[in-house]
Amino acid sequence: MRILSGIQPSGSLHLGNYFGMMKPALELQAHGEAYLFIADYHSMTSVFDAAERRRNTLDVALDFLACGLEPKRAVFFRQSDVPEVTELTWILSSLTPMGLLERCHSYKDKISKGIPIHHGLFAYPVLMAADILIYDSNIVPVGKDQKQHVEVTRDIAVKFNEAYGTTFVLPEPQIRDATAVVPGVDGDKMSKSLNNTIPIFGQEAALRKKIMSIVMDSRSPQEPKPDADKNLALQLLKLVAPAEVAAEFERRLREGGLGYGDLKKTLFEHYWNSFAGPRARRAELAGHLDYVHQVLREGAAKARATAQVVLRRARLACGLD
Ligand code: ADP
Ligand code: TRP
């Protein structure tokens, strides 16, 4: 079984990324061959500063390694170190109906917000399809917002297979119900673009402030809260604290008597402690950047070898070779 997922170097890793994609992907390392990559080509659609891209790319590498990526098990690489993926993007583009891309939520959201659209944003799902298909991926662990892109990938693969004979493996998205959409501090989906994230790494005081800024209603502590499961701090506590601790706080919210400030303080403690290991590993890795670059170089060589085999298969199928 081959598992594949990627993340753009477009900002700091947050709880949504971690629970929606990174943790599930890292857990799958033990169950198959994981290909995990830094989607720097995709970041071209939103980051327009070279130094920022380089810095973010290194940050994602540190994040993945600190959170448990094992270079001996997983193939870890930078998307742009495998330029074959852009050739496959063109081949797939030529079979991709415009309507398929016009229906994509992420593209429609940008249009509805009046964000100026360029061709890269429109074609983004085709590059993502090439990412997935060029490694014969079976399982793609992602958050819910990426589900449609994996479905588009399947549609494009089917079109190619029908036109030129079976060439590509059809991938399945893997989405965990409990973490499909992690909420941000304002209750909307946690997202870098919405400025409502709780980062995984950073300065303690700033992160504490973020958690204390989670939006609550104005009910008094004494009032019972029968809708406790809708409380944002409690939802996040369920992710970072043992189940019995979260259940106890849910009970106290329901009964009344628990102040939101105390709930948030507890959330901060569990959140902070649960990432103590990754935080220490990240600090250590930051002092060994040669090692980090070496991991990415070795990952790129392995990924490229796989990509070349699949691209050759596709070129033969469609008459380019
Ligand atoms: P962002 O929306 O913050 O820009 P990305 O698009 O870089 O995040 O997402 C990287 C990965 O993290 C994707 O697999 C995405 O589905 C997942 N993800 C992002 N935000 C969330 C969230 N709030 N809940 C669950 N998964 C998420
Ligand atoms: N589009 C994904 C995101 O923003 C990142 C990504 C690029 C990806 N290529 C991929 C994820 C292939 C899974 C598989 O989160």
pLDDT 10s digits, 169-208: 999 999 999 999 999 999 999 999 899 999 999 999 999 9
Same domain, 139 and 81: yes
Same domain, 240 and 110: no
Is the separation of the CB atoms in 206 and 217 below 8 Å? no
- Shortest-distance Cα residue to atom 1 of ligand 1: 191
Same domain, 154 and 87: yes
248: helix, strand or coil: helix
Ligand 1 pocket: which of 182, 191, 196 to mutate (most atoms <8 Å of CB)? 191
| Residue 181 alpha carbon, nearest atom of ligand 1 | 24
Instruction: Identify the pLDDT of residue 264.
Output: 97
Ligand 2 pocket: which of 2, 3, 4, 5 to mutate (most atoms <8 Å of CB)? 5
Same domain, 129 and 160: yes
DSSP string, 33-72: EEEEEE-HHHHTTT---HHHHHHHHHHHHHHHHHTT--TT
- Predicted confidence band at 115 (pLDDT cuts at 50, 70, 90)? confident
Alpha-carbon distances of 97 from 87, 108, 283, rounded to whole Å: 18, 16, 46
Q: Is a pLDDT exceeding 90 seen at residue 266?
A: yes
* Nearest-ligand number for the alpha carbon of 11: 1
Ligand 2 site, CB within 6 A: 4-8, 39, 42, 128, 131-132, 140, 142, 146
Q: What is the CATH number of the domain that holds 238?
A: 1.10.240.10
Alpha-carbon distances of 112 from 71, 115, 117, rounded to whole Å: 41, 8, 11
> Could you give the percent of the chain with pLDDT greater than 90?
97
- Shortest-distance Cα residue to atom 2 of ligand 2: 7
Query: How far is ligand 2, taken at its centre, from the CA of residue 245, in Å?
Result: 34
Range of the domain at 260: 202-274
Is the separation of the CB atoms in 153 and 132 below 8 Å? yes
Q: Is a pLDDT exceeding 90 seen at residue 116?
A: no
Is the separation of the CB atoms in 178 and 41 below 8 Å? no
Region 267-296 average pLDDT: 98
Q: Is a pLDDT exceeding 90 seen at residue 38?
A: yes
Query: How far is ligand 1, taken at its centre, from the CA of residue 17, in Å?
Result: 5
Same domain, 312 and 270: no
Query: How far is ligand 2, taken at its centre, from the CA of residue 191, in Å?
Result: 14
- Shortest-distance Cα residue to atom 8 of ligand 1: 191
Distance CA 143, CA 181 (A): 7
* Nearest-ligand number for the alpha carbon of 35: 2
The token pair at 179 is 């973490």
- Predicted confidence band at 237 (pLDDT cuts at 50, 70, 90)? very high
Query: How far is ligand 2, taken at its centre, from the CA of residue 5, in Å?
Result: 6
pLDDT 10s digits, 47-82: 999 999 999 999 999 999 999 999 999 999 999 999
**Rama region for 220: left / alpha / beta (φ>0; ψ in -120 to 50; rest):** beta
Query: How far is ligand 2, taken at its centre, from the CA of residue 132, in Å?
Result: 9
- Predicted confidence band at 33 (pLDDT cuts at 50, 70, 90)? very high
Same domain, 105 and 154: yes
pLDDT 10s digits, 137-177: 999 999 999 999 999 999 999 999 999 999 999 999 999 99
**One-letter amino acid identity for 61?**
A
191 belongs to a structural domain: no
Number of CB atoms found within 10 A of residue 269's CB: 14
Instruction: Identify the pLDDT of residue 255.
Output: 95
Same domain, 154 and 12: yes
Is the separation of the CB atoms in 157 and 191 below 8 Å? no
Distance CA 181, CA 165 (A): 37
Q: How many domains does the chain have?
A: 2
Query: How far is ligand 2, taken at its centre, from the CA of residue 198, in Å?
Result: 20
Same domain, 175 and 35: yes
Is the separation of the CB atoms in 10 and 45 below 8 Å? no
The residues near 60 (Cβ < 8 Å, ≥ 6 apart) are: 7, 9, 13, 38
Compute the mean pLDDT over every residue in the chain, rounded to the nearest whole number: 96
Does 171 sit in the ligand 1 pocket, CB within 6 Å? Answer: no
Same domain, 294 and 267: no
Instruction: Identify the pLDDT of residue 29.
Output: 95
What's 78's DSSP letter?
A: E
* Nearest-ligand number for the alpha carbon of 34: 2
